[in-house]
Amino acid sequence: MREITYAQAINEAMSEEMRNDKNLIFIGEDIGIYGGAFGVSKGMFEEFGEKRVRDTPISELVITGCAVGASMTGLRTIVEIMFSDFLTLAMDQLANQAAKNKFQFGGQGSVPMVLRAPGGSGTGAAEQHSQSLEAWVAHVPGLKVVIPSTPYDAKGLLKTAIRDNNPVVFLEQKLLYRTKGEVPEREDDYIIPLGKADVKRKGKDATIVTYGRMVQISLKVADEMAKEVIDIEVIDIRSLVPLDKECLINSAKKTGKVLIVHEACQTGGFGGELVSVIVDSDAFFYLDAPVKRLGGLDIPIPYNPGLEAQVVPTEARITATLKELL
Amino acid sequence: MREITYAQAINEAMSEEMRNDKNLIFIGEDIGIYGGAFGVSKGMFEEFGEKRVRDTPISELVITGCAVGASMTGLRTIVEIMFSDFLTLAMDQLANQAAKNKFQFGGQGSVPMVLRAPGGSGTGAAEQHSQSLEAWVAHVPGLKVVIPSTPYDAKGLLKTAIRDNNPVVFLEQKLLYRTKGEVPEREDDYIIPLGKADVKRKGKDATIVTYGRMVQISLKVADEMAKEVIDIEVIDIRSLVPLDKECLINSAKKTGKVLIVHEACQTGGFGGELVSVIVDSDAFFYLDAPVKRLGGLDIPIPYNPGLEAQVVPTEARITATLKELL
Amino acid sequence: MKLSKEIHKELYLKMVQTREFEETAARLFVEGKVHGTAHFCTGEEATGVGVCSALEVKDYILQTHRGHNQGIGKNMDINKMMAELLGKATGYCKGKGGCMHIADFSVGSLGANGIVGGGMPIATGAALKQQYNNEKNVTVCFFGDGATNGGAFHESLNLASVWDLPLIFVCTNNLYGMSTHINRSMNIEDISIRASGYGIKSISLDGNDVVKIYEETIKAKEYVLKNGPMLIVLNTYRWMGHSKSDPQIYRTKDEVKEWKEKCPVKRHKKYMLKNKIMSAVEIETLEKHAVRDIKAAVEFAENSPEPQIENIFDDVYAD
Amino acid sequence: MKLSKEIHKELYLKMVQTREFEETAARLFVEGKVHGTAHFCTGEEATGVGVCSALEVKDYILQTHRGHNQGIGKNMDINKMMAELLGKATGYCKGKGGCMHIADFSVGSLGANGIVGGGMPIATGAALKQQYNNEKNVTVCFFGDGATNGGAFHESLNLASVWDLPLIFVCTNNLYGMSTHINRSMNIEDISIRASGYGIKSISLDGNDVVKIYEETIKAKEYVLKNGPMLIVLNTYRWMGHSKSDPQIYRTKDEVKEWKEKCPVKRHKKYMLKNKIMSAVEIETLEKHAVRDIKAAVEFAENSPEPQIENIFDDVYAD
Ligand SMILES: Cc1ncc(C[n+]2csc(CCOP(=O)(O)OP(=O)(O)O)c2C)c(N)n1
Ligand SMILES: Cc1ncc(C[n+]2csc(CCOP(=O)(O)OP(=O)(O)O)c2C)c(N)n1
Ligand SMILES: [Mg+2]
Ligand SMILES: [Mg+2]
């Protein structure tokens, strides 16, 4: 299969869907001729024109709300928020409007929009440009939340998200944008359903449940452990909402040992949810050890690259925690 | 001891601190002559005047940011956000500024502010005025998060929060405002440290870990169960950040059975954190059953009182879940 | 512009219906038949009624928390409005939203909002869709004086201006945001001045003059379809408290009295009599109609079933 | 107003230091010595330097992401600025903030901000504290043209106006917010027009005229202490890309060239020579000083230790 980057995969997903659906528009800051802060939308302005690829003023609240209004009245929209840290400014339209409208209007007004935003540390962008805020949006009924870890998943999940009739928060990973992976040819339209976890590596001694950039790191750890004949299963949940509980529970039953890993700071992170889902199921009775959690440190993301690298779960820390488990 | 309401307790805490500290000011919408949407600040405008009790335009972002700036330069501030649902509009100043400034400025600029906001359902205020959003703020390093369940705790914790040198999010409970409880005389200055859970009821058969309004409900359930000679311990964590992990873990070890209860919708709620803290400790080996979690339903809060009452954990559901545990 | 008798009739009927709706709803609160809160627009009838009566079904409106006049103006079903207030399954939101969230997409109402200013960003999207499809329709966004102090106002007017959206921003200036008089929440002579920050046109009107409001809305619709957004400020007054629990110590009884004398309903009645548009008898008939309509609505609502707990998960997600 | 030679010297030195700082920092990026991102203000030196040089220590400033001119203007320590850019323990933020978060409370800088418009609400609080304590000092809040489209701008100017805060809002209009020209982000002739929505005074100045900027800031300080806030718009241009990775396809080379001819540094030099304020030799000496200062700063920074991992939890919470 051909290899393309994560950023290209996202670009292809958007472009293909825009070709297929004239009612799909794309709005955000500097997504036009600039191609987006991370170059994700390169070429789209040229192909689809300014009517469909719309640069906006710097005003995250109205950008998001504009998508809500357009989507509620018949268009579909993709919104790019330049850094997911700026969700702080868009939360009202996302959580109080997009997420609740259909319910509070008694079933009127679906909001088929995708809000894309890159998250994560590792680029030296410091405290206000490096957060992983998926736990906030996963706690809002009415929203779906997706975080892809590979180009293949990014493309397939984004296409599904765009076709979904609900507001979907699609959190990309800055550090993955340039990573490459196999993706089917352009002609081969494929989609990946939301709510299906992916066992990225099968194993029987312990399970790592994770998502986003931590999938790649966990796979590396698993490969290293394999050398010591320890067989780690790595599950990429891919979407936080809906969540493929069955997959987690089954794996926990199989291996009896589970480690949850995410980049977001540990306290109040989505890891707690994953732990609870497992512990509050019949998998509890199969557990040979406490379900462990490894999140980022509970501090803002610092600028210095040495410090920054230590905030998120490292291969060394994942390995050490796994060994505690085993 | 005299009995006062939860609202009065909060009023007293603010008033006493303002009497003692001329550098303490209070800002928010309609907190002045109106006395606040829930009447919490009644009489404060009259006592402290418009210079210290400051009505603002309807603009939650600048209200919060104004407190950040004033607090960073030498004042102390209390901000009232009329409903905690409007945190959506204040999140940038709260999470990206207040919480991170000291860290990102290399230790310069503490932010001694308290952001008070009422949360919770039960008043027929519907989707956008009834949420419990503590999980969002508890996931932001740099913030402290407090939710009192009694007038006594409300007063003692708020006084501590006001004296704290960090931004503290103080989440009040709309339905508790009019409940009464014992509080020492005005002259008896007392404070309650943040980070100390309170065992509201001792027991040995199972532990309920909870906070806010659910404390009262859990106590009722415990009283009912006592009739069946089942002895439930009820722990009120009181502050989510810092969290009194030791208290939870010790109780879990003692009873071997834990139920977490909160009003916020279950998925992504702070309950996951509490489960994880227990499960990922040596208490795991004392557990006789899965740690159970009971949060609100994963839906927006509906208007109809009958539906509304069913969204949050009810006495019946808490009892049923406890019985599953036992 | 000379309005037909039919239009006058419509305006008057809707205003009286609104008046009756609010007074009845307030009574239901006192009687304990409604729980939760509500915000009544008595005294402001001309604003929503005048504007919305000038619109077509395919023109969208975004309503406020104080928007029963807007809903009735846009031909919403009064029965369903009342049923929603009572939280019944037959209400606009199936009892799930209450009157802060009534919406009727079938007549072009994209919903009321519990967040002050919350509808403004959404309005830009609705207008964008109209522009995108080359529709000859517009979006009207209602909000209060207090809402003009929030960031949503600024961002929305700016975006609408930059994109030339067919969007009429309608500010119902009733002098107060809750207890806060505009003199304490902004530092300008007239709210319409704010349009200049976005390079758009604005007008400031007597918000109790339903005829003028109707006429100006007709013109505004034409204008925004050609030129992009404009701002209309309707200066009026809220007679009742902010919400059911408001002791109103922030304003004088005299002020309220003064404004009651400017009653928009009476004013329109006088106007019609003076200009011989309708006779006293015709007017009285309309008033009776209105009373009957609201009574019927209460009956409908009271006889409607409560929502079923089994349906509580409906509509959280679309299929 | 006639500025002393000392002032001219200060203005010129700071502008050249800023120019040198940015060019050096850009080089360090290319050499891979800095990671992360940075936003350079080359071409805009007169704005931050002109304004801040007119302030006292106790006047506060809120800086932007493109604020090295502001920091140098406010007498921040260039060594610590450079050390922070390199992420060193001796930097202003102990290496934890980077140049988007430099702050020096000891000279009155309450910090740069990574959030566009993020400093504006904070500025209202700093000014409130000054007013509360009857200080004779003011707060100056910097932000860009792009930031004026965000809700924080609106809410902050409005609150400052209503409360008569001693606050000068300074907009550095460099025509672009990233790739977006102001013609596509707002629909007005001059950004200063926006002040009218808040009933406050505003002026729009040539942002490359450091002398005028200095003078007007002195006046503005006096004005806002008496009358409450005002808005100053400084019209200028950014020579370099938005950030290190900007291919700049959204503007023409001619446009950049044209603006380079309006160089604020050269302009001030010419002015001083023409008015015989300083001789060519004196000026050259200053320039050498600046180069030496920046070189020393790089040395300081490069020789400084990396932050220790043991200190990573410091300053998350105050005691
Ligand atoms: C963002 C937000 N802040 C505060 C409130 C509480 N609140 C509800 S209505 C209201 C007053 C609104 O004033 P205005 O916009 O003038 O409308 P009016 O009520 O006068 O019709 C306030 C403060 C809210 N609902 N939303
Ligand atoms: C709230 C927010 N939105 C977007 C960004 C990304 N961003 C950083 S600088 C910038 C342009 C800012 O333009 P302007 O205010 O004119 O300042 P300039 O960069 O021109 O100095 C953008 C969009 C951000 N940092 N914060
Ligand atoms: Mg009003
Ligand atoms: Mg700019």
User: Which residue in A29, A53, A59 has the most chain D C-beta atoms within 10 A of its own C-beta, making it the best mutation to test that interface?
Assistant: A59
List the single residue in A with minimal CA-CA distance to D154. A59
Is the peptide bond prior to B242 cis by the omega test (within 30 degrees of 0)? yes
Of B58, B297, B298, the CB nearest to C150: B58
Residues B145 and B202 in one domain: no
What ipTM is given for this predicted complex?
A: 0.98
Encode A6-29 in three state secondary structure. Answer: HHHHHHHHHHHHHHHCCCEEEEEC
Chain-chain contact of D95 with A55 (C-beta, under 8 angstroms): no
Number of Cβ atoms within 10 Å of the Cβ of B250: 17
Whether A191 maps to a domain, the answer reads: no
List the shell of residues around ion ligand 4, using CB closer than 5 Å: D 144-146, 174, 177
Of C88, C147, C178, the CB nearest to B34: C178
Chain-chain contact of B93 with D162 (C-beta, under 8 angstroms): no
Of C105, C125, C130, the CB nearest to A68: C125
Residue B76 C-alpha from the chain's centroid: 20
Chain-chain contact of B305 with C97 (C-beta, under 8 angstroms): no
Q: What is the B81 CA–ligand 1 centroid distance (Å)?
A: 12
User: Which residue in B73, B93, B97 has the most chain D C-beta atoms within 10 A of its own C-beta, making it the best mutation to test that interface?
Assistant: B73
Residues B135 and B208 in one domain: no
C171 CB within 6 A, ligand 1: no
Atom from ligand 2 closest to the CA of residue D147: 15
| Cβ D176 vs Cβ D211: under 8 Å | no
Residues A164 and A210 in one domain: no
Residues B170 and B289 in one domain: no
The chains found to touch B (3+ Cβ pairs under 8 angstroms) are A, C, D
Is residue C243's pLDDT more than 90? Answer: no
- The torsion region of residue D32 among left (phi > 0), alpha (psi -120 to 50) and beta comes to left
Is residue A7's pLDDT more than 90? Answer: yes
Provide the shortest C-alpha distance from residue B60 to chain D (in Å).
Answer: 9
Point out the catalytic residue in the list B54, B76, B129, B213. Answer: B129
| Cβ A262 vs Cβ A271: under 8 Å | yes
Provide the shortest C-alpha distance from residue C281 to chain B (in Å).
Answer: 41
Provide the mean pLDDT of chain C: 97
Say how far apart CA D103 and CA A127 lie, in whole Å: 14
List the single residue in A with minimal CA-CA distance to D178. A30
Q: To test ligand 1's pocket by mutation, which of B56, B82, B130 has the most ligand atoms within 8 angstroms of CB? A: B82
Bridge pairing between strands D180-181 and B24-28: unpaired
Residue C306's Cβ-count burial label (10 Å; 0-12, 13-18, 19+) is middle
Q: What is the C201 CA–ligand 4 centroid distance (Å)?
A: 26
CB pairs under 8 A between A and D: 121
Span A178-206, average pLDDT: 96
Domain boundary among A182, A208, A227: A182
* CA dihedral sign, ordered D292, D294, D295, D301: positive
Q: What is the pLDDT of residues A287-307, one digit of tens each?
A: 999 999 999 999 999 999 999
Contact residues, chain C, for D194 at CB < 8 Å:
197
Residues A109 and A77 in one domain: yes
Atom from ligand 2 closest to the CA of residue D148: 15
C174 CB within 6 A, ligand 1: yes
* CA distance readout (Å), D42 to A144, D62, D259, D264, D314: 44, 19, 11, 10, 34
Ligand nearest to the CA of A29: 2
Residues A223 and A257 in one domain: yes
Whether A145 maps to a domain, the answer reads: yes
Is residue A114's pLDDT more than 90? Answer: yes
pLDDT of residue C1: 79
pLDDT of residue A188: 87
Q: What is the pLDDT of residues A76-86, one digit of tens each?
A: 999 999 999 99
Q: What is the C65 CA–ligand 1 centroid distance (Å)?
A: 8
Interchain contact D318–A (C-beta under 8 A): no
Contact residues, chain C, for A65 at CB < 8 Å:
118, 120-122, 124-125, 152, 156
Chain-chain contact of D150 with A89 (C-beta, under 8 angstroms): yes
List the single residue in D with minimal CA-CA distance to A50. D184
Chain-chain contact of A102 with C151 (C-beta, under 8 angstroms): no
CATH number for the domain harbouring residue B166: 3.40.50.970
Q: What is the pLDDT of residues A55-107, one digit of tens each?
A: 999 999 999 999 999 999 999 999 999 999 999 999 999 999 999 999 999 99
Domain interval for residue A90: 3-182
Intervals of chain B under pLDDT 50: none
Sequence-distant (≥ 6) Cβ neighbours of residue D284 within 8 angstroms: none
Ligand nearest to the CA of D146: 2
Residues B99 and B242 in one domain: no
List the single residue in C with minimal CA-CA distance to B129. C114
Domain boundary among B182, B208, B235: B182
Contact residues, chain B, for C179 at CB < 8 Å:
30, 32-34, 55
Name the H helices within D31-112: 45-53, 68-73, 78-85
Q: What is the C139 CA–ligand 4 centroid distance (Å)?
A: 31
Is residue A112's pLDDT more than 90? Answer: yes
Mapped onto helix, strand or coil, the DSSP state of residue C48 is: helix
Residue among B157, A277, A9, D195 at smallest CA distance from C197 = D195
pLDDT of residue A324: 92
Is residue A212's pLDDT more than 90? Answer: yes
With a pLDDT cut of 70, the percent of chain A lying above it is 100
The amino acid occupying position A154 is A
Ligand 2 neighbours (beta carbon < 6 A): A 29, 58, 60, 82, 86, 89; D 39, 65-66, 114-116, 143-147, 174, 176-178, 242
Q: What is the pLDDT of residues B186-219, one digit of tens each?
A: 888 899 999 999 999 999 999 999 999 999 999 9
List the single residue in C with minimal CA-CA distance to B32. C179
Is the peptide bond prior to A242 cis by the omega test (within 30 degrees of 0)? yes
Interchain contact D105–B (C-beta under 8 A): yes
Residues B159 and B305 in one domain: no
Is residue A169's pLDDT more than 90? Answer: yes
Contact residues, chain A, for C122 at CB < 8 Å:
65-66, 68-69, 72, 93, 97
Residue A33's Cβ-count burial label (10 Å; 0-12, 13-18, 19+) is middle
Q: To test ligand 1's pocket by mutation, which of C178, C243, C251 has the most ligand atoms within 8 angstroms of CB? A: C178
pLDDT of residue B188: 86
Whether B38 maps to a domain, the answer reads: yes
Q: Per the structure block, which two tokens stand in for A2?
A: 């051909």
> Could you list the pLDDT tens digit for every one of the 319 residues in chain D?
889 999 999 999 999 999 999 999 999 999 998 888 889 999 999 999 999 999 999 999 999 999 999 999 999 999 999 999 999 999 999 999 999 999 999 999 999 999 999 999 999 999 999 999 999 999 999 999 999 999 999 999 999 999 999 999 999 999 999 999 999 999 999 999 999 999 999 999 999 999 999 999 999 999 999 999 999 999 999 999 998 778 899 999 999 999 999 999 999 999 999 999 999 999 999 999 999 999 999 999 999 999 999 999 999 999 9
Residues of A known to be catalytic: 129
Whether B188 maps to a domain, the answer reads: no
Interchain contact D91–B (C-beta under 8 A): yes
Say how far apart CA B152 and CA A14 lie, in whole Å: 55
| Cβ B7 vs Cβ B38: under 8 Å | yes
Name the H helices within chain A: 6-20, 44-48, 60-72, 87-91, 101-104, 134-138, 151-163, 213-227, 245-255, 270-279, 305-311, 315-325
Chain-chain contact of B280 with A292 (C-beta, under 8 angstroms): yes
Atom from ligand 2 closest to the CA of residue A129: 25
The amino acid occupying position A319 is T
Contact residues, chain A, for C317 at CB < 8 Å:
102, 142, 144, 166
Say how far apart CA C62 and CA A304 lie, in whole Å: 47
With cut-offs at 50, 70 and 90, classify the pLDDT of residue C264. very high
Residues B20 and B160 in one domain: yes
Chain-chain contact of A107 with C103 (C-beta, under 8 angstroms): no
Count up the domains in chain A and report the number: 2
Whether A190 maps to a domain, the answer reads: no
Looking at the whole model, is its pTM more than 0.95?
Answer: yes
Provide the shortest C-alpha distance from residue A20 to chain C (in Å).
Answer: 17
Whether B192 maps to a domain, the answer reads: no
Largest CA distance in chain A: 58
Q: What is the pLDDT of residues A306-315, one digit of tens each?
A: 999 999 999 9
Domains and CATH numbers, chain C: 5-300 (3.40.50.970)
Q: What is the pLDDT of residues C207-238, one digit of tens each?
A: 999 999 999 999 999 999 999 999 999 999 99
Whether A173 maps to a domain, the answer reads: yes
Residues A117 and A218 in one domain: no
The chains found to touch D (3+ Cβ pairs under 8 angstroms) are A, B, C
Provide the shortest C-alpha distance from residue D201 to chain B (in Å).
Answer: 20
Of A9-23, B252-266, C171-185, D22-36, the poorest mean pLDDT is in D22-36
CATH number for the domain harbouring residue A293: 3.40.50.920
pLDDT of residue C286: 97
Q: Per the structure block, which two tokens stand in for A103?
A: 């319910």
Residues B123 and B272 in one domain: no
pLDDT of residue B187: 82
Provide the shortest C-alpha distance from residue C166 to chain B (in Å).
Answer: 26
CB pairs under 8 A between B and D: 145
Residues A257 and A135 in one domain: no
Whether B190 maps to a domain, the answer reads: no
**Atom 25 of ligand 1, nearest CA residue:** C115
